[in-house]
Amino acid sequence: MINFATDQPLGEAIGSMDRRTPIGSMMTSAEWERAPLEIRDRSFWMAKVLNERVLAEAQRRLLQAIKQQRDAAEAGGRVMERGRFVLEMQDILRQVGYQPDPAKKGTLQDISSSRRLSLVWDMNLAQARGYATWKAQQEKGALYRAPAQELVRVMNRRERRLWPRIWAALGGKFYGKPGRDYPEAPGRMIALVNDPIWSAISQFGTPWPPFRWGSGMGLRSIFRREALSLRATDGTPLLPEDAPPQLPQAMPQGFNTGLRISVRGVQDAGIERLRSEFGDAVRFDGTIASYQRDLSPANEHREEPVEVELRNRARAAFQRGEKALESGGRERLPEEAAREVLVSAAAVQVGRKRLYYDDHGADAEAAAELLKQTVDRRVRVEVIDGHVLAWRPDLLDLTPEQILAMSTGDLPVNGKLLGYGAESPGAIPRTQVIIRDGEGNVVFGFHAPFRDAKAFGQARLRDWTDATGEDYTLTLIPMEGGAN
Partner 1 sequence: MIKVTSITNSKDARAFLVDIGDRVTDRVELNRALAERYVALLRDHWREKDQKGNKLGGERTHFWSKAAEETGIASVDEDGATITVGGAAGQQVRIHIFGGTIVPVVAQALTIPIVREAYGLRASEYEEKTGKDLFTFGRGRALFEKVDDGGNQSVVSGPGFKRREGIPWSPGTMIGQHRSIRPSSTVVPLARQQQLRPVYLLLDQVEIPADPKALPSEDETIATLLAAAEDYFEFEGGAP
C-beta separation of 42 from 21 below 8 A: yes
Q: CB of 220: closest distance to partner 1 in angstroms?
A: 7
Q: CB of 195: closest distance to partner 1 in angstroms?
A: 19
Using alpha carbons, list the distances in angstroms from residue 478 to 269, 285, 434, 450, 482: 17, 32, 11, 7, 6
CA-based nearest residue to 11, from 139, 132, 140: 132
Asked if residue 442 binds partner 1 (CB under 8 A), the reply is: no
Minimum CB distance to partner 1 smaller for 84 or for 360: 84
Distance (Å, whole) CA 467 – CA 311:
7
Element spanning 262, H or E:
strand 260-262
C-beta separation of 353 from 342 below 8 A: no
Asked if residue 229 binds partner 1 (CB under 8 A), the reply is: no
Asked if residue 2 binds partner 1 (CB under 8 A), the reply is: yes
What's the sign of the alpha-carbon dihedral 417, 418, 424, 427? positive
Minimum CB distance to partner 1 smaller for 139 or for 303: 139
Asked if residue 73 binds partner 1 (CB under 8 A), the reply is: no
Per DSSP, 197 falls in state: H
CA-based nearest residue to 25, from 284, 268, 260: 268
Distance (Å, whole) CA 226 – CA 220:
12
Q: Which of 28, 60, 79, 365 binds partner 1 (CB under 8 A)?
A: 79
Minimum CB distance to partner 1 smaller for 128 or for 263: 128
Minimum CB distance to partner 1 smaller for 153 or for 301: 153
Q: CB of 11: closest distance to partner 1 in angstroms?
A: 8
Strand duo 430-436 + 442-449: pairing: antiparallel
Minimum CB distance to partner 1 smaller for 220 or for 378: 220
By CB under 8 A, the residues from 8 to 37 that bind partner 1 are 8-11, 13
Minimum CB distance to partner 1 smaller for 208 or for 278: 208
Asked if residue 60 binds partner 1 (CB under 8 A), the reply is: no
Asked if residue 3 binds partner 1 (CB under 8 A), the reply is: yes
Q: CB of 193: closest distance to partner 1 in angstroms?
A: 12
Asked if residue 87 binds partner 1 (CB under 8 A), the reply is: yes
Distance (Å, whole) CA 322 – CA 325:
5
CA-based nearest residue to 295, from 277, 313, 307, 281: 281
Asked if residue 224 binds partner 1 (CB under 8 A), the reply is: yes
CA-based nearest residue to 313, from 357, 272, 348: 348
C-beta separation of 351 from 279 below 8 A: yes
By CB under 8 A, the residues from 140 to 199 that bind partner 1 are 141-142, 144-146, 152, 154-156
Asked if residue 83 binds partner 1 (CB under 8 A), the reply is: yes
Minimum CB distance to partner 1 smaller for 130 or for 419: 130
Asked if residue 243 binds partner 1 (CB under 8 A), the reply is: no
Distance (Å, whole) CA 316 – CA 428:
37
Element spanning 446, H or E:
strand 442-449
Asked if residue 220 binds partner 1 (CB under 8 A), the reply is: yes
Minimum CB distance to partner 1 smaller for 83 or for 334: 83
Minimum CB distance to partner 1 smaller for 23 or for 192: 192
Q: Which of 28, 53, 60, 81 binds partner 1 (CB under 8 A)?
A: 81
C-beta separation of 156 from 216 below 8 A: yes
Asked if residue 258 binds partner 1 (CB under 8 A), the reply is: no
Q: CB of 49: closest distance to partner 1 in angstroms?
A: 19
C-beta separation of 28 from 91 below 8 A: no
Minimum CB distance to partner 1 smaller for 73 or for 411: 73
Distance (Å, whole) CA 330 – CA 339:
10
Residue range at the interface with partner 1 (CB under 8 A); choices 41-49, 182-190, 223-231, 233-241: 223-231
Q: What letter represents residue 383's amino acid? A: V
- Name, in order, each residue with C-beta under 8 angstroms of 424's C-beta and a sequence gap of 6 or more: 411, 412, 413, 415
CA-based nearest residue to 469, from 354, 339, 378, 358: 339
Residue range at the interface with partner 1 (CB under 8 A); choices 43-51, 81-89, 413-421, 424-432: 81-89
By CB under 8 A, the residues from 92 to 151 that bind partner 1 are 106, 113-115, 125-126, 128-130, 132-133, 136, 139, 141-142, 144-146
* Residues within the interface to partner 1 (CB under 8 A): 1-11, 13, 65-66, 68, 76-83, 86-87, 90, 106, 113-115, 125-126, 128-130, 132-133, 136, 139, 141-142, 144-146, 152, 154-156, 209, 218, 220-221, 223-225
